């Protein structure tokens, strides 16, 4: 059907004299012409400016192709020619993740892939707008092609870097025309942070939690200042260990995953823009929304708020403002009081740890620390908080310790954390109540437009 449409369009646009019987001046369209026609037909519809937009898309895609980060498969070629699939390892709102290995042909065509290496492969519907995620949305964004190139150039640097950035590595997007997109990523062997918490039989020690929060802040600092992007869905489920965790052994590095809701900013954050919020569609997990997110605003401080909630949950296996119990989280974060109940593990947490959490969940966005400022805080620079350059300095993790709260109570809190979150997230869908966000002083208001990932 694509070929027929392309041929019909080509004949309609050809000079009338060239359509005579036996004329050989017309040739069947190339694969690239077919793909461009398909883009115009399926994405842009009858928009009279579609050709200009498709031209911009083509430039962005050509850049990705040059970087070996995009590979297109045209019929009759199928994804099975490049990847062999194993078991499914997860399923989310943006697609299903499988274990995949590249074929010999894939290794030849796509140099970034390694023969025999296992990867996480996320399958997403190509033309379902709600499921495409940041990678496909970005290559379709014709408004800011130069900015998109900068974003993916940085992604390539992370992919090739030997320095730990605590960001999940993305290798290539395989577009199977016209069916689906297969995003090939690094395969993490360890559990996510929520699963790790649910397996705890006591509250995690502060010396264990601080390095995990530090690694999360390192990833966020890189995302804000180097990528120039907002994650917008930071939560324990989107933080995963690179390798399996072993009892009594140092914890492996933690990485930030799932960039399906990422918003690419007009430019990487500087010392002024990093404290600003701007009108953006509300998206993500309601329990981790900052107060301004309920008012349809977001910015780097919104990600910091979410990290503060992750730190709170790691230290107490709970969320502040009674978010796991209330039915209106917007009202809870706008009016609730931040408390550190002693029966939830806070008796053993230092004043520095409490001050760190309090600063991250400050209701006024510009008063929250930046990721760089958080990394310089007393709590994350203490000897027990190191371990950001790998796992050599990470403390060993003990499964149990008797001097804490009763173990049965802690285990019940941990095992119920996931189910309580599911219930609370369901109940708060669509809730828009809450106080208006406080306005920053002159010079601290922002306007960061052009939502690519939302």
Contacting residues for 356 by C-beta, under 8 A, at least 6 apart? 213, 308, 311, 374, 377, 379, 380
Contacting residues for 20 by C-beta, under 8 A, at least 6 apart? none
Contacting residues for 292 by C-beta, under 8 A, at least 6 apart? 277, 298, 299, 301, 302, 365, 437
- Domains of the chain in start order, with CATH, are 1-6+27-187 (3.30.200.20), 193-427 (1.10.510.10)
Q: Output the pTM of the full model.
A: 0.75
122 is in an annotated binding site: yes
- What is the per-residue pLDDT across 227-272, written as a single tens digit (0 to 9) for each? 999 999 999 999 999 999 888 888 999 999 988 888 888 889 999 9
Q: What is the distance, to the nearest Å, from the Cα of residue 151 to the centroid of all Cα atoms in its chain?
A: 14
- What is the per-residue pLDDT across 383-397, written as a single tens digit (0 to 9) for each? 445 444 444 344 444
What six digits make up the tokens of 172? 């290539």
The percentage of the chain sitting over the pLDDT mark of 90, rounded to a whole number, equals 40
CA 286, 292, 295, 299 dihedral sign is negative
Work out the mean pLDDT of the chain and round it to a whole number. Answer: 75
Helical (H) or strand (E) element with 256? strand 254-256
The percentage of the chain sitting over the pLDDT mark of 70, rounded to a whole number, equals 64
Residue 1 has pLDDT above 60, yes or no: no
Spatial contact of 241 and 212, defined as CB atoms under 8 Å apart: no
């Amino acid at each position: 059907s694509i070929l027929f449409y392309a041929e019909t369009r080509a004949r309609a646009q050809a000079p009338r004299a060239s359509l005579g019987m036996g004329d050989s001046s017309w040739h069947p369209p190339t694969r690239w012409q077919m793909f461009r026609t398909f883009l115009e037909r399926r994405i842009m519809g009858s928009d009279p400016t579609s050709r200009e937009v498709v031209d911009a898309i083509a430039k962005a895609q050509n850049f990705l192709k040059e970087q070996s980060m995009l590979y297109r498969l045209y019929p009759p070629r199928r994804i099975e020619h490049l990847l062999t699939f194993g078991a499914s390892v997860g399923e989310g709102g943006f697609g299903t993740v499988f274990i995949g290995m590249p074929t010999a042909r894939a290794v030849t065509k796509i140099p970034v892939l390694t023969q025999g290496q296992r990867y996480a492969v996320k399958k997403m519907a190509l033309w379902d707008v709600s499921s495409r995620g940041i990678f496909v949305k970005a290559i379709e964004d014709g408004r800011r092609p130069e900015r998109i190139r900068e974003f993916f150039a940085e992604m390539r640097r992370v992919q090739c870097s030997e320095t730990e950035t605590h960001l999940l590595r993305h290798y290539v997007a395989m577009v199977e025309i016209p069916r689906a997109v297969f995003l090939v990523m690094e395969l993490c062997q360890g559990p996510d942070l929520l699963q790790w918490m649910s397996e705890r039989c006591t509250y995690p020690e502060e010396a264990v939690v601080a390095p995990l929060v530090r690694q999360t802040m390192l990833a966020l600092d890189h995302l804000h200042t180097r990528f120039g992007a907002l994650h917008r869905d930071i939560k324990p489920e989107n933080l995963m260990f690179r390798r399996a965790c072993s009892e009594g052994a140092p914890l492996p590095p933690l990485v930030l995953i799932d960039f399906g809701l990422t918003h690419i900013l007009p430019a990487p954050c500087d010392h002024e823009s990093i404290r600003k919020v701007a009108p953006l569609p509300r998206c993500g997990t309601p329990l981790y929304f900052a107060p301004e997110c309920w008012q349809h605003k977001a910015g780097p401080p919104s990600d910091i708020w979410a990290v503060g909630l992750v730190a709170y949950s790691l230290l107490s296996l709970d969320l502040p403002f009674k978010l796991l119990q209330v039915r209106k989280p917007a009202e809870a974060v706008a009016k609730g009081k931040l408390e550190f109940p002693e029966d939830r593990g806070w008796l053993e947490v230092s004043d520095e740890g409490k001050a760190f959490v309090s600063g991250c969940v400050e209701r006024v966005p510009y008063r929250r620390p930046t990721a760089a400022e958080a990394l310089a805080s007393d709590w994350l620079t203490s000897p027990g908080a190191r371990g950001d350059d790998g796992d050599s300095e990470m403390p060993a993790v003990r499964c149990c310790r008797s001097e804490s709260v009763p173990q049965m109570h802690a285990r019940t809190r941990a095992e119920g954390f996931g189910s309580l979150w599911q219930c609370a997230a369901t109940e708060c869908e669509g809730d828009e109540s809450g106080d208006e966000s406080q306005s920053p002083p002159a010079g601290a208001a922002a306007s960061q437009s052009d939502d690519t990932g939302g």
